[in-house]
Amino acid sequence: MITLAVSFSRVHNKSFLEMLKNIPDLSWTPGVSQYFLDESIQVSKSQRMNQFTQKTRYVGAPPSSFSWLIEKPECLKVSDKLTCSGADGAFSSVGAFSDNRCISGKDSSRVSYSEQYMLSCANSQCYGIGMVSSQIFLKDTGVPTQKCVSFKSDINKNIKCATACDDGSKLKLIKSSSFEDVCSDEQSIMIALTKGTVQTTIDLYTDFFYYMEGIYKNVAGTFQNTEKVTFVGYGEENGTKFWVVRNAWGNMWGENGYFRIVRGINECEIENQCFLTVV
């Protein structure tokens, strides 16, 4: 894996932005997010390394639109992985685990579980953990709460696997029951989403770093890297079907930390492989 420290000046290109603004009938608004103005962003460039998993295909008649942001907004939270570039696997899997324990009633309110514990104890640190590996870790090892082991990582730190909570108290690890790769087809993902939020991955192209709002579709630029994110819903606007997806770039980015992307055409490989964490 090659990790590049990309500063704002390298992410932002004025002529590229102007070119995007002049594309007719663009379904999303290009600009420069506050996220890129506030700090240098670590961009991890790597090959997609999906491990094989058997597909689960959900069948039935899903509702025409659905979003946990509407159904149970109290169960969702946007996080910020800061300069820990490879933490997206931990944030997307542990985030969905936290969501789904709240959605299912396993936790009476949303409890944030520890991404740091997975990063340190799976020996991935800020260099990345795959989706399958993160799901296996949740099922076989489990994670404590974020209150117990808080997020500390950045690209320059190597945090040891915690043997106790930050305050010295005993660790209590909470596990998932199982996980399913529900990316068999559009309908399967839609039905799975009515059960909980779903971890997935997206291929990022240059223009994605200029996304502000709207329904994203890649129109310009070259492949930059992959990012593990979380499906939280779906819908349709003016005849364009979309997914609602949570990123881990904080709530100052995109649509309050979320983005919408064209649904049903595997845009940027977002429907390629995705996991429902069964709590």
The CATH number of residue 210's host domain is 3.90.70.10
For residues 49-63, average pLDDT: 81
Q: Which of 1-15, 120-134, 203-217 has the lowest mean pLDDT?
A: 1-15
Mean pLDDT score of the chain: 89
- pLDDT for residue 42 is more than 60: no
- pLDDT for residue 33 is more than 90: no
> For the residues of the chain, what is the DSSP string, one character each?
-EEEEE-HHHH--HHHHHHHHTSTT-SEEE---HHHHHS-EEEEE----PPP--B----S---S-EEHHHH-GGG----B-TT-GGGHHHHHHHHHHHHHHHHHTSSSS---B-HHHHHHHTT-GGG---HHHHHHHHHHT-B-BTTTS-----TT--PPPPSS-TTSPPP--B--SEEEE-TTSHHHHHHHHTTS-EEEEEEEEGGGGGEEEEEE---SS-EEEEEEEEEEEEEEETTEEEEEEE-SB-TTSTBTTEEEEE-SS-GGGTTSS-EEEE-
> How does pLDDT run across 171-181, given as a tens digit for each residue?
999 999 999 99
For residues 60-67, average pLDDT: 97
Q: Report the predicted TM-score, pTM, of the whole model to 2 decimal places.
A: 0.87
How many domains would you assign to the chain? 1
Domain that holds residue 245: 2-46+53-278
- pLDDT for residue 209 is more than 60: yes
> How does pLDDT run across 120-159, given as a tens digit for each residue?
999 888 888 999 999 999 999 999 999 999 999 776 678 8
